[in-house]
Amino acid sequence: MDFPCTKCGACCKNISGIKELESYNLGNGICKYLDMQNNLCKIYANRPIICRINAMYERDYKQLHSKEEFYALNIESCKALQEKEDIDKALRF
């Protein structure tokens, strides 16, 4: 089971304050590797672990939450970012 990402790009447009992604920030909170035309990551296969929901779960959260709980928490964060970014409803959870 993988995280059901909608590929809306909202998380990639809100990386300010994330220490692990400081060098990726264009200065406006948007990741320099986000393709603004299609909302896809230009380095998807080599993206940092913090951008990999499943890998983060296995490394840092497996002892704290079930995978379903972890996904639900991430989906709530996604919903908030999607609202903030006024993401097209077709790409929302």
- State the pTM of this model: 0.89
pLDDT band, very low/low/confident/very high, at 6 (cuts 50, 70, 90): very high
| Residue 1 pLDDT level (bands cut at 50, 70, 90) | confident
Tens digit of each residue's pLDDT (9 = 90 or more) over 34-80 = 999 999 999 999 999 999 999 999 999 999 999 999 999 999 999 99
d(CA 67, CA 11): 20
Q: What angle do CA 51, 40, 69 make, to 5 degrees?
A: 40
**Interatomic CA distance for residues 92 and 56, integer angstroms:** 22
DSSP 8-state symbol, 41 = E
Cβ neighbour number for residue 11 with a 10 Å cutoff: 20
Give the residue extent of every domain in the chain: 10-91
38 half-sphere exposure, CB direction, 13 A CA radius: 3
